[in-house]
Amino acid sequence: MKKLFYPESIMVVGVSDTPTNLGRRIVENLERFHFSGPVYPVGREGGNLDGREIYTRIEEVDAPIDLVVFLIPAPFIPEALEVCGEKGMRYAVIESGGFSEFAEENRRLDERVMEIAKKWDIRFVGPNCISIINLENGVVLPFVSLDPGGIKTGPISFVGQSGGIVNATLRLCSNENLGLNKLVSMGNKLDLDENDYLEFLISDQGTKTIGLYLESVSDGRRLMDLAGSARKPVVVLKSNTNTASNQIARFHTTALAGDDEVVSSALRQVGIHRVHTLQEMISAFKIFNLPLMKGPNLAAISRSGGSAVMAADAAHRYGFRLNQFSDSFLKFVRQKARAGVIRMTNPLDLGDVFDLEFYREILHRALKEKGVDGVLFSHVYLSGIDVMSTKHLIRAAKEFSHLYQKPVALCMIPNSGEWFMMRRAADFPIFTEPEDALKALSISHSYYKNITDREPHPRTQFELPTQKAQESEIRSHRVQGPGEVFELFRQYEIPVAEYRLAKDHEEALEAAGLIGYPVALKTADSDVVHKTEAGGVMLNIGNHDELNEALQGIKGDSFLVQKMVDDGHEVFIGGKHDPEFGPVILFGMGGIFVEALHDVVIRVAPITEREAGEMIDGVRGSALLKGFRGGLKADLDALRACLVRVSRLLYEHREVQQLDINPLVVRGEGQGCQVVDAKIFS
The answer to whether the 151-289 and 296-451 domains have the same CATH topology is yes
In whole angstroms, give the CA distance from residue 448 to residue 320.
14
Distance of CA 476 to the CA centre of its chain: 33
In whole angstroms, give the CA distance from residue 629 to residue 632.
9
Alpha helices by DSSP H, listed for 144-251, are: 163-175, 194-203, 220-229
Q: Are 58 and 87 in contact (CB under 8 A)?
A: yes
Confidence band for 46, pLDDT divided at 50, 70 and 90: very high
Which pLDDT belongs to residue 555? 75
Which pLDDT belongs to residue 608? 94
Q: What's the rounded mean pLDDT across residues 533-562?
A: 87
CATH architecture of the domain covering 498-563: 2-Layer Sandwich (3.30)
Q: What is the largest CA-CA distance in the chain?
A: 102
Which pLDDT belongs to residue 354? 84
Q: Are 635 and 667 in contact (CB under 8 A)?
A: yes
Instruction: Give the pLDDT confidence of 408-467 residue by residue, as tens digits.
Output: 999 988 777 777 788 787 789 999 999 999 999 999 999 999 998 876 665 544 444 444
Global model pTM greater than 0.85 = yes
In whole angstroms, give the CA distance from residue 285 to residue 211.
8
Which pLDDT belongs to residue 186? 95
Identity of the amino acid at 349:
D
**468 Cβ contact partners less than 8 Å away, ≥ 6 residues apart:** none
Q: What's the rounded mean pLDDT across residues 569-579?
A: 93
The count of residues in the chain is: 682
The third-level CATH classification (topology) of the domain covering 1-130 is Rossmann fold (3.40.50)
In whole angstroms, give the CA distance from residue 155 to residue 147.
19
Q: What's the rounded mean pLDDT across residues 557-582?
A: 91
Proportion of the chain above pLDDT 70, given as a percent? 91
Does the structure show a pLDDT above 60 at 71? Answer: yes
How far is the CA of 269 from the CAs of 238, 281, 585, 601, 631, in angstroms? 15, 19, 12, 11, 31
In the 8-state DSSP scheme, what is residue 326? P
Q: What is the mean pLDDT of the chain?
A: 89
The third-level CATH classification (topology) of the domain covering 151-289 is Rossmann fold (3.40.50)
Instruction: Give the pLDDT confidence of 89-133 residue by residue, as tens digits.
Output: 999 999 999 988 767 778 899 999 999 999 999 999 999 999 999
Domain boundaries in the chain?
1-130, 151-289, 296-451, 498-563, 569-681
In whole angstroms, give the CA distance from residue 248 to residue 657.
9
Q: What's the rounded mean pLDDT across residues 327-338?
A: 89
**264 Cβ contact partners less than 8 Å away, ≥ 6 residues apart:** 274
Please tell me the CATH code under which domain 569-681 is placed. 3.30.470.20
Strand, coil or helix: 155: strand
Q: Are 130 and 158 in contact (CB under 8 A)?
A: no
Dihedral over Cα of 279, 284, 289, 293: its sign: positive
Please tell me the CATH code under which domain 296-451 is placed. 3.40.50.261
Q: Are 198 and 227 in contact (CB under 8 A)?
A: yes
